[in-house]
Structures are given as structure tokens and as C-alpha cells.
Amino acid sequence: TVFWCNVHGGYIYVFIMLAAFIGLNLPTGIGKKNALIASLVAYILILICFARIIRMSGGLIFMMVLAYAILAGILYLFRRKFVSLDARGICHTVAAAVMAFIATIVFNPFHLTNLTHTYVVSISEHAERWREIHEWHAAFDWSNPVGTAVPFLVMFLLALVALVPWIVVLIVAPRSVAQHRKRKAKASDEYQWPKIDLAIVVIAALTVYMAIRSRRFIPIAAIAACPVIAMLIDQTVRAISATLNFLDRNRLAVSAMPRQLQLGVTVTGALAVVFFGTWWGLKFKRIYLDAWPADPQLSSVFMRMTASDAKPFYALKFIKDNKLQGKMLNYWTEGGFIAWGQVPEPNTGRTPLQLFMDGRAQAAYDRKTFDDWSYLMAGGRVTLQIMERIRTKGGKVTGDDYELIGKWMDDQLKEDDVWVILMPAVVFGGSRSQGTFHAIKAIELHPGWRLIFLNNRQKLFVDIRTPRGKELFEGIFTGKTIYPDDYHRNIIRSHNWYLYRSGITEKREGLEFAKKAFESSPSPTPLFEVLAYGGFPQLKPGVDKFCIDYLNEFEANQDSWSRQDGYRLKTQAVQIVCAHLKDPVKQNRFLGELERIAQSKRW
């Protein structure tokens, strides 16, 4: 418990579930009335304190206490029908929970961080604001692009199907047996009606409810609910069998399963295990062990399972090699990785390049900080007004619009002393209907900011009005700025030779940089650099020949390349080439291939 609570704050919910577990066991597990009353009073006082912490109104607190008091009374009256811990078991559970809670705080380097994270996201004043993130959306929000809830829906429906007969059978069956017992003898070895393990059932139900509210709890809900579903089905079948046996043979006992039926169930179960195990194993091999089309280098099982190939590995090496310091604007979900990859100051732990925001937003930052980041990333009110104009009157973002957005962004970044911006492709390659895309595009077009690092995943800008920013930008041309490898050095040179070198000889040199970058890693970003040089009449024949040669090479090697890492990037490149060569038939064929790749590598 301590380990998992420190790995991820979501596991703090084990303590919330434990509160329900104790509350349901108190009325049924403590036999002495004085001890029971004292325990219930203490438990209710703790509930009231917690309710005040989360700012629950007095009326709701009264209703909560009244409801629990009524429930406790009912449980006490029918306590013999429930599975329950005794007083010693309850004390041991509480003691273990307290020790685990303390250990979770002590052994976490951030101490209360995970606890505050869970509190802020779940029940704080601004909980709904934080749950705007995809992973926190409701399970059955089918428009959510993150994950799938179809298996959970199947489990949820199965739980309902199992729960309803279980309730009906456990109510009807004992009554039916009792009625017939008035005129029939009572069997000495009769079947014992199962006691209701209410705490386990309620915890499973609450966990399923958590998953419905937020899909990130679906795995926990499955772990908690599936054993309970199996228990409900087992108890239902046994109760029906015992009741039918009593009505037919005057013997309240579970009938032995017929040998043929037992054999059939065993064989069916074995076949199901073999089938699903083989299917799962083959799918695991195809997705996690076979060639990985998304990246030619970052293709380990860990990278695939965690989608870490999207993290800024190469950008971070650039940051460390060039010893960047100060303040930066970053995409918030990459903040933790950027901080982790830097070399902190040994005495204070302070990272040289300070983040604007990181993935611990709900735990480590005030909501205002996140709102400020969101407002800045969206381009502020000026971008909002421009986007609203386009929605109502049509048109597109103009050069003057980008100038306005860029000036506003620049002013805001100056106020925060930010001189470095690192953004992922989800931003600069995202939807043009989003303000975020235009905000970063405006920075790219602003004369005070320059792009000094790019690849298929990341773009890094610096303010060249700062001494270090100017030095890094000029270092692209002098060779003093350090890059992770030849690919990154060639692609940024190609980009800047295209923008800032004037002679055709230098443009031709820039084209060669782009070609070398593409040869190092055939992918869209260096290809776009190549195609940009096609705008110069002197270079267009060479660009067209380059595209034709790559198309021919791809078609000749497609079969072997499809079994290599990075195949999707090569396919994206050839699809762009077909668009450039105005070959819609082949372009559509490769679009279909990209769709096939995407579907084949999804779990």
C-alpha cells in the first residue's frame, strides 16, 4: 500500500475505501453496547471533521449523520446476517491503516503531495476544473480520445446482471424454504444461507462508481469488482440449487454437479483460457515485441506501454549539452520529464531550467498557476477574439492576427522572465481550430524569437534578445551550438539556411542539409524542409527527383521496411511525397496503410 500510494496518488483511495469498510463493520462487529456506542460516536465525529474540511454544508452533514445512524441501527439489528470483523479485527485494521498512512507521508519525498493531489482532484472546491483532463473524464464519455471504456461497460452490465438475481434469490429462497418447512422435516446437514459481506460489496460498488466518474480508475474498479461479481454468481447458483433440492427432495443442500456437466464446464473453461491466453499473447507480441512503427529508436516495451517515445529525449539532451538556465514555458505533461532529465544543483535540488508547470499540477501548484498557464497557452483574449471572428464571419488567421497574438505572447513571457519555449507536436501540429496552435505559431513568426531545435516531436524556441538566446541562434551558423546528432544538426541548419540565407548557392547548401537529415531519419519533418526548397525554380527539379526516387525506393522496400521500427514515419513521408507529386491514387493507398498501422498497434 505504501509503495503504490507513493508511486501514484490515485491509490490514496485505499484509505477512503477503508473508511467505508470500518463504518460498515462497526455496527455488526462490536457486541458490547457501550463500546459500540463509543465507537460509533468517534466515527461520526471523524466524518463530521472531514465533512467540514471539504466545506460540506451543515444540512448535508446532518443528513449524512442521520443516514449513517439509521444504517448502523439496521445493521446492528440484523448483524447475524452479515460477515463482519470482530472488535479486535477492527482495531488491527485501523492500526494498520494509520501506520500505512504515516509511512506514505514519511517515505514520499514530497510528503503530502500525493494526498493533496487526490483531495484537489476529487472533492476540493476546484475539483471539476481539474477533471477537465482527458484521463479524469467520465468512463462513458465516448468522445474522449484517451483509452476505451467498452470492456468496463461489459463488466458493469455483468455486475448488474449478477446483482439483481443475487438480491432476489437471497430474499425469495429463504422464505420459500421457511414456508415449506412448516409441514416438512428439517434436514440435519442443511445448506447454510450465505452471510452478506456488505462491506466488500459496497467497496466494489463505490470503486465502480469512481471509475464511472473518472476512467482512470477503471483498472482499480476491475480488480475490486470482478471477484465480487464471481462471488455473487456463485452464491446465487448455490442458493437456487439448494432451494430446488429442498423442494424436490426435502433436503436443503447444494446438488452435486452432474459429471457430464462438470466435464463440460471444465473443458469449456480450459478452452476459454487457452483461446484468450493465445489471443492475448499473440496480440502482446504484435504490439509490444514486433517492429514498432512509431519510432526507429525509442521502441522498447517500456516506451510502447507508456507512450514515452513522445517525451523530449533529444530536446533534453540539447538542453543539458548547451547548459540552458533560467525560466521556460513548457507543455505541462512534459514538465516532470524535463525536470527529471536535468542535473539539479546538488545542495538545493533546483533544476537549471525552471519549469512553468509540470504534471503534478493538481498537487504541487495552485489552481491560479494552472489557469495562468492555460490562458497563456491559449493565446489570451486576443486569440479568443480572433477565433470567435473566424467562427462567426469565416476566413482564417492572417499575418496581422499573428502579429497581434505574438506581441501579446511576447509581453506575457517577458513579465515571467521566460526566454525558452519547448513545445510538443500535439501543440504545433495540432488542430488549427485551437488557440494553442496559433499562439505557438505566432511565437515562431515573432522577430524576437527563433527556432533553434526541432524534430518530429518537439520544437524549441529562444528569445534572441537575451545574450544566451542570441549566442545559441548564432551558434547554428558557426557550429558552436551543440546538437544530439547529425540528424538534428542538419535539420535545424536546413531550416535556418532556408529562412536567413539569401544566395542560391546557400539555398542549395540548405537543401543538402535537409536531404542528409532525411537520409538519417526518413520522416515528415525533414521532408517538409526538402519540399520548402522546391519553391525556388533552380532547386525544384532536384526536389522533384528526390521525391520520385524516395517513392520508388519505398515501393521497392515496403515489405521489408514494414517489419522494421519507424515504418509509420516512412509511410507518412511517402504519403506526403505523393501529395507533392499530385498522385492521389497512391496518396490514398498510403493513407489507408497509415490507418492499418494505427489499428494494428492499438490494444
pLDDT the model gives residue 413: 95
Q: Is residue 276 part of a domain?
A: no
Band of the pLDDT at 10, cuts 50, 70, 90? low
Q: What is the DSSP string of 481-531?
A: S--SSHHHHHHHHHHHHHHH--SHHHHHHHHHHHHHHHHHS-SHHHHHHHH
Q: Is residue 283 part of a domain?
A: no
Percentage of the chain lying above the pLDDT 70 cut? 90
Q: Is residue 516 part of a domain?
A: yes
Mean pLDDT in residue range 66-90:
84
Answer yes or no: is pLDDT of 494 > 70: yes
Mean pLDDT in residue range 121-146:
74
Element (H, E) at 571: helix 567-580
Q: What is the DSSP string of 70-139?
A: HHHHHHHHTGGGB----HHHHHHHHHHHHHHHHHHHHHSTTTTHHHHHHHHHHTSTTHHHHTTSGGGS-T
Q: Is residue 105 part of a domain?
A: yes
C-alpha cell at 70: 439509521
pLDDT the model gives residue 588: 95
Answer yes or no: is pLDDT of 9 > 60: no
* 420 Ramachandran zone, left/alpha/beta (phi>0; psi -120 to 50): beta
**Same domain membership, residue 163 and residue 24:** yes
Q: Mind listing the pLDDT tens digit for each residue in 196-222?
A: 888 889 889 988 988 888 888 888 889
**Same domain membership, residue 33 and residue 117:** yes
Band of the pLDDT at 517, cuts 50, 70, 90? very high
**Same domain membership, residue 324 and residue 243:** no
Q: Is residue 278 part of a domain?
A: no
**Same domain membership, residue 532 and residue 514:** yes
Query: pTM for this one?
Result: 0.79
* Whether 104 contacts 114, CB under 8 Å: yes
Label residue 270 exposed, middle or buried (CB < 10 Å: 0-12, 13-18, 19+): exposed
* Number of domains into which the chain is organized: 3
Band of the pLDDT at 134, cuts 50, 70, 90? confident
d(CA 315, CA 350): 19
Query: How many residues in the chain?
Result: 603
**Same domain membership, residue 350 and residue 305:** yes
pLDDT the model gives residue 318: 96
**Same domain membership, residue 506 and residue 438:** no
Mean pLDDT in residue range 380-396:
91
Band of the pLDDT at 227, cuts 50, 70, 90? very high
Answer yes or no: is pLDDT of 38 > 90: no
pLDDT the model gives residue 122: 67
Q: Is residue 282 part of a domain?
A: no
At how many degrees (to 10) do helices 524-532 and 567-580 cross? 20
Answer yes or no: is pLDDT of 133 > 80: no
pLDDT the model gives residue 39: 80
Answer yes or no: is pLDDT of 118 > 70: no
Element (H, E) at 329: strand 326-330
Mean pLDDT in residue range 305-334:
92
Mean pLDDT in residue range 453-480:
95
Answer yes or no: is pLDDT of 115 > 70: no
Range of the domain at 467: 296-480
Range list of H helices, 108-217: 113-122, 127-130, 150-181, 198-213
Name the one residue in this structure whose C-alpha cell is 547529425. 486
d(CA 507, CA 515): 12
For the chain, the C-alpha Rg in angstroms (whole number) is 32
With b meaning 16 or more CB within 10 Å and e meaning fewer, what string describes 492-515?
Answer: bbbbbbbeeeeeeeebeebbbbbb
Q: Is residue 32 part of a domain?
A: yes
Percentage of the chain lying above the pLDDT 90 cut? 49
C-alpha cell at 40: 460509533
